[in-house]
């Protein structure tokens, strides 16, 4: 139960952080940056998918309507994750400076998808990963999305300061 609360708290914080993460670059620069938009939508979809998994696990088995709502939203979030990960992959070809960050996003998404599949009882597409804890996979993905978004908000020419 504590694990489920920790996952829910992490997902909730990710949703709120996504709303306030644009601090360094101008709002217009980030609004029209496809990589930033894909990363932010991935962050929200990953958090919502994890929350839906928790909802399905904790839903009253006597209320099939609640379980069906969680399942419907979960499928929608998985489609959003798939669409934005494909969009970010296409954008990666144009973003040569951040290839390492983009590779980390890809790797974290593979792990997150496996953890979501395991948590829902769906046979994982990549069974070579073994048991993947959902909270750790969600945290890794959130860190990858945040690091990429932060790299977009840094100034292009770092300033030198004297100590």
Give the tens place of pLDDT for each residue, 104-156. 999 999 999 999 999 998 875 556 778 899 999 999 999 999 998 888 876 55
**Predicted pLDDT at 3:** 65
| Cβ–Cβ under 8 Å, residues 144 and 105 | yes
Helix axes 99-120, 64-92, angle to 10 degrees: 160
Q: How far apart are CA 154 and CA 42, in angstroms?
A: 20
**Predicted pLDDT at 134:** 93
pTM of the predicted model as reported, rounded to 2 decimal places: 0.74
**Predicted pLDDT at 63:** 81
Give the tens place of pLDDT for each residue, 87-114. 988 888 887 788 889 889 999 999 999 9
**Predicted pLDDT at 152:** 80
């Amino acid at each position: 139960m504590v694990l489920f609360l920790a996952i829910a708290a992490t997902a909730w914080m990710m949703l709120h952080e996504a709303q306030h993460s644009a601090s360094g670059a101008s709002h217009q620069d980030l609004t029209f940056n496809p990589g930033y938009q894909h990363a932010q939508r991935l962050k929200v979809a990953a958090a919502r998918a994890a929350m839906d998994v928790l909802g399905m696990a904790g839903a009253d088995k006597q209320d099939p309507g609640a379980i069906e709502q969680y399942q419907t939203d979960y499928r929608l979030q998985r489609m959003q994750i798939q669409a934005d990960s494909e969009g970010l992959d296409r954008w990666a070809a144009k973003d040569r400076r951040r290839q390492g960050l983009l590779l980390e996003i890809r790797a974290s998404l593979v792990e997150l998808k496996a953890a979501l599949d395991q948590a829902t009882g769906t046979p994982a597409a990549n069974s070579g990963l073994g048991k993947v804890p959902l909270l750790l996979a969600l945290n890794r993905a959130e860190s990858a999305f945040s690091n990429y978004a932060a790299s977009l908000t840094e100034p292009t020419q770092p300033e030198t300061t004297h100590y």
